[in-house]
């Protein structure tokens, strides 16, 4: 077993910058103050939904989705609608991308029709190329490397439940070389959370993401271990990751064998704090990474977490289109 590794982001390394980003490709794009401002805006969306309706009436958002989706697709479309925007849903098969048109050419064309582009794709490089060519804001609705929209919903859920983020101990259990974990790392360092990741050595997070989190500044810490009990002990929140992502079905047998030790059930939740809650990005596979008793039990905030995809999506779209956090 390898020794634990820890990333500590010092608060003195960060600068206060309320400038809004041109695109939202990863959590770090927001900056520390911007992240808190987006969470504040999402909370206000929930508290005063009528104030936010129609703020961008007459606009259009193109939602370009290369991957299957439930929560991201629907929350983005509904968020756009509530802001007064027309959501136009496009798949790769529906577009000339399926015939070899470049993502740069697609971005230039869509910029002539839409006020923003939301894309769910595979390689993170595709996002960067699209953002470089587009003249309108681009939102990462999921790439292989990052899932920032999910991380915002995670953070909002924890803040609602505990009244704070700073100092919360979060245990992430399972495959950590994942978009969910990478975005959670960035949230943790900028909000002061104490994130402990338990994963087999071959499933540790991307070192480049850890280095980027360190450079970004913030008061949070990220510790990577192999023993799940070490991560779970006294945690405020437990976050199991699915064992077999949608693009790794061909590795099912291998991954299930590697990750079986990281299942979260009643015994694992008992290691966490007495008030610990369960998070899950969904879709969940009961009996694999999490038991049905825990997922559907009283300690689960998973459905609140899923619901929070909507107000956070509204907050992000407003931020990028208005160039303002309010």
pLDDT beneath 50, residues of the chain: 1-18
Distances in Å between the alpha carbon of 262 and those of 101, 293, 303? 42, 16, 22
Contacts of 33 (CB under 8 A, 6+ apart): 16, 17, 18
Max Cα distance, the chain (Å)? 57
Domains of the chain from N-terminus onward: 27-145+310-321 (3.40.50.1370), 148-306 (3.40.50.1370)
* Phi, psi values for residue 74, rounded to 5°: -75, -45
What is the predicted pLDDT for the residue at 297?
A: 98
Distances in Å between the alpha carbon of 239 and those of 94, 136, 181, 282? 35, 34, 9, 11
Give the closest residue to 154 by CA, choosing from 115, 120, 183, 190. Answer: 183
Tokens representing residue 101 in the block: 């048109």
What is the predicted pLDDT for the residue at 3?
A: 42
What is the predicted pLDDT for the residue at 8?
A: 44
What is the predicted pLDDT for the residue at 247?
A: 79
What is the predicted pLDDT for the residue at 246?
A: 79
Q: Is 54 left (phi over 0), alpha (psi -120 to 50) or beta?
A: left
What is the predicted pLDDT for the residue at 25?
A: 98
Angle, helices 71-82 vs 309-322, to 10°: value is 50
């Amino acid at each position: 077993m390898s020794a634990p590794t820890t990333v500590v982001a010092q608060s003195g390394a960060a600068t206060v910058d309320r400038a809004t980003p041109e695109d939202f490709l990863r959590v770090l794009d927001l900056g520390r103050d911007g992240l808190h401002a987006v969470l504040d805006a999402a909370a206000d969306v929930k508290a005063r939904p009528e104030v936010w309706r129609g703020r961008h009436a007459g606009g259009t958002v193109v939602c370009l989705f290369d991957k299957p989706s439930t929560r991201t697709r629907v929350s983005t479309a509904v968020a756009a609608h509530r802001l007064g925007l027309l959501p136009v849903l496009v798949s790769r098969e529906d577009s000339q991308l399926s015939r070899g048109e470049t993502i740069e050419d697609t971005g230039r064309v869509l910029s002539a029709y839409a006020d923003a582009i939301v894309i769910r794709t595979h390689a993170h490089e595709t996002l960067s190329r699209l953002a470089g060519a587009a003249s309108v804001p681009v939102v990462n609705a999921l790439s292989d490397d990052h899932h920032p929209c999910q991380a915002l919903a995670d953070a909002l859920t924890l803040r609602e439940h505990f009244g704070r983020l700073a100092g919360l101990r979060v245990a992430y259990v399972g495959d950590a070389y994942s978009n969910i974990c990478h975005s959670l790392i960035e949230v943790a360092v900028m909000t002061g959370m104490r994130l402990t990741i338990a994963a087999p050595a071959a499933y540790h997070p991307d070192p480049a993401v850890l280095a980027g989190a360190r450079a970004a500044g913030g008061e949070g810490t990220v510790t990577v271990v192999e023993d799940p009990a070490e991560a779970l002990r006294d945690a405020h929140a437990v976050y199991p990751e699915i064992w077999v992502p949608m693009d790794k079905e061909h590795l099912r047998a291998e991954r299930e064998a590697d990750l079986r030790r990281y299942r979260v059930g009643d015994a694992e939740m008992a290691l966490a704090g007495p008030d610990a809650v369960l998070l899950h990005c969904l879709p969940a596979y009961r009996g694999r990474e999490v038991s049905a008793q825990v997922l559907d039990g009283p300690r689960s905030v998973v459905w609140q977490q899923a619901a929070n995809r909507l107000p956070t999506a509204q907050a992000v779209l407003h931020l990028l289109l208005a160039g303002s956090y309010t």
